[in-house]
């Protein structure tokens, strides 16, 4: 294969990307798997094979991105595992892999996920005709599940949700807005106040929580605190967006809803097909450490890349009719949880909490659950994407 300069996509409208990025993704992919997009100041990688190639080589494609690492360090106290490479990353990532294996997740948290789901089902039911699945069920459930996985005994789901949003806003605060920093600073202080007593207690008596795994990995307290904040910022919105996207998709595809309601063994496929089709994390950044060639395209050192997994998940070279929601498609792996060393640490936890617990209980209790055609269900975002509200009837 020869080496070419990256095609340039001059006509990319950021407002259109935020509203619905999928047409733009198709257009970019037709130009090539790696395209320079001046409107977002990056090379966007939209081909499935090209995204995988990035994640297979962390020496050339670093997660320690310029600008992004600085805002993340400012928002979370210091640079977390997500912005580290090689041994530095592995020292923080390896300890949480053990409690996040499927068996360990089921043993430690499945019963708790069930209790949380039942409690929020009640909230949803009580809302009756005003019910919003995002506000009344998916959001608070995802927050409570994360409180339990982190083992924060005094924290509430409301607090965790507030911290999560404050950290996410800080991580994205490239404009240096002081009000955004003030909110993420407050959230940091509040999380630190919880951890001040918890970390020494866990040093004496380990438990099954993610915080305990970090504490017993030989990391200093500041590193533990930052990675707890990373998990708070990364482990809430995506499961919530997946739950609402599933109900939205099944409402629109009643034949597939009937199939899964008749046979719950389909639920895991529903979760993964939804994460492929409407990826909650659409894009994440990388930086080239040297001149290199990616999918036949020459890239200079220090090039900012966006790995657009949402576009890769609709790549026709990887999936037949990728624009269709189809739970029966083959088990070809999607990129909605990323790949390579930074592959989502919580992907099994998400699959268990959603596919094994939340969805079967939700539809078991409310088999007539559907999106409400009379109220709006707004989608928003491309870097992170999800339904900001999902009015439902049941
Ligand atoms: C459906 C739900 C979820 C989706 C779609 C998702 C997606 C992702 C993706 C795409 C990445 C890679 C980002 C990158 O490389 O820049 C990631 C990383 C990560 N996720 Fe998730 N995630 C989900 C749920 C969770 C949950 C529930 C947790 C916590 C228990 C979690 C914790 C993490 C952590 C700690 C990382 C960083 C891993 C590292 O740097 O090695 N995620 N996630």
Ligand 1 lined by 336 (C-beta under 6 Å)? yes
Q: What is the pLDDT of residues 257-299, one digit of tens each?
A: 999 999 999 999 999 999 999 999 999 999 999 999 999 999 9
* Domains, the chain: 4-393 (1.10.630.10)
68 confidence band (pLDDT: 50, 70, 90): confident
> How much is the pLDDT for 69?
81
Average pLDDT over residues 150-173: 95
Query: Please, are residues 340 and 317 in contact by the beta-carbon 8 Å criterion?
Result: no
Span from the CA of 271 to the centroid of ligand 1 (angstroms): 15
> How much is the pLDDT for 1?
54
Average pLDDT over residues 121-129: 94
Buried b (16+ CB within 10 A) or exposed e, 45-67: bbbbebbbbbbeebebbbbbbee
- CA atoms of 387 and 244, how far apart (whole Å): 7
Span from the CA of 278 to the centroid of ligand 1 (angstroms): 15
- CA atoms of 388 and 133, how far apart (whole Å): 10
Query: Please, are residues 67 and 174 in contact by the beta-carbon 8 Å criterion?
Result: yes
61 beta partners:
288
Percent of the chain topping pLDDT 90 = 95
Ligand 1 lined by 82 (C-beta under 6 Å)? yes
Residues whose CB falls within 8 Å of the CB of residue 102, separated by 6 or more in sequence, listed in order: 348, 351, 352
pLDDT at 23 over 70: yes
- CA atoms of 12 and 282, how far apart (whole Å): 16
- 3-state class of 218 per DSSP? coil
CA atoms within 13 A on the CB side of 132: 13
Helix (H) or strand (E) holding 36: strand 34-37
Average pLDDT over residues 347-367: 97
- CA atoms of 242 and 350, how far apart (whole Å): 9
> How much is the pLDDT for 342?
98
Residues whose CB falls within 8 Å of the CB of residue 362, separated by 6 or more in sequence, listed in order: 117, 121, 137, 243, 247, 369
Residues whose CB falls within 8 Å of the CB of residue 258, separated by 6 or more in sequence, listed in order: none
Ligand 1 lined by 275 (C-beta under 6 Å)? yes
């Amino acid at each position: 294969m020869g080496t070419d300069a990256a095609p340039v996509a001059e006509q990319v409208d950021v407002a259109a990307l935020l509203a619905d990025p999928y047409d733009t993704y198709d257009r970019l992919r037709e130009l090539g798997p790696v395209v320079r997009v001046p409107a977002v100041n990056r090379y966007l990688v939209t081909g499935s094979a090209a995204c995988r190639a990035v994640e297979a080589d962390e020496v050339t494609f670093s997660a320690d991105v310029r600008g992004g690492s600085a805002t993340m360090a400012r928002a979370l106290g210091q640079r977390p595992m997500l912005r580290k490479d090689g041994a530095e990353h592995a020292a923080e990532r390896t300890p949480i892999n053990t409690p996040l294996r499927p068996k360990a997740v089921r043993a430690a948290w499945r019963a708790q996920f069930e209790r949380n789901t039942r409690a929020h089902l009640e909230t949803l039911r009580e809302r009756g005709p005003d019910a919003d699945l995002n506000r009344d069920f998916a959001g608070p459930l995802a927050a409570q599940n994360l409180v339990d996985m982190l083992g924060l005994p005094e924290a509430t789901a409301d607090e965790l949700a507030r911290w999560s949003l404050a950290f996410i806003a800080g991580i994205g605060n490239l404009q240096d807005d002081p009000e955004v920093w003030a909110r993420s600073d407050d959230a940091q202080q509040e999380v630190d106040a919880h951890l001040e007593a918890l970390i020494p207690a866990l040093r004496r008596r380990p438990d099954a929580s993610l915080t305990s795994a970090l504490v017993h990995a030989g990391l200093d307290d500041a590193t533990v605190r930052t990675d707890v904040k990373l998990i708070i910022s990364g482990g809430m919105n995506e499961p919530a967006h997946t739950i609402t996207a599933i109900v939205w998709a099944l409402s629109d595809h009643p034949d597939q809803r009937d199939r899964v309601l008749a046979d719950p063994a389909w639920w895991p496929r529903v979760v993964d097909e939804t994460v492929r089709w409407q990826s909650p994390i659409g894009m994440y950044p990388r930086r080239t450490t040297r001149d290199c060639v990616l999918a036949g395209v020459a890239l200079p050192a220090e090039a900012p890349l966006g790995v657009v997994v949402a576009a890769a998940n609709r790549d026709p070279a990887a999936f037949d009719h990728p624009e269709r929601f189809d739970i029966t498609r083959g088990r070809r792996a999607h990129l909605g949880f990323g790949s390579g060393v930074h592959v989502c640490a919580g992907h099994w936890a998400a699959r268990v909490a959603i596919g094994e617990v939340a969805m079967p209980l939700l539809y078991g209790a409310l088999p007539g659950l559907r999106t409400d055609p009379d109220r709006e269900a707004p989608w928003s975002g491309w870097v992170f994407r999800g339904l900001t509200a999902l009015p439902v009837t049941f």
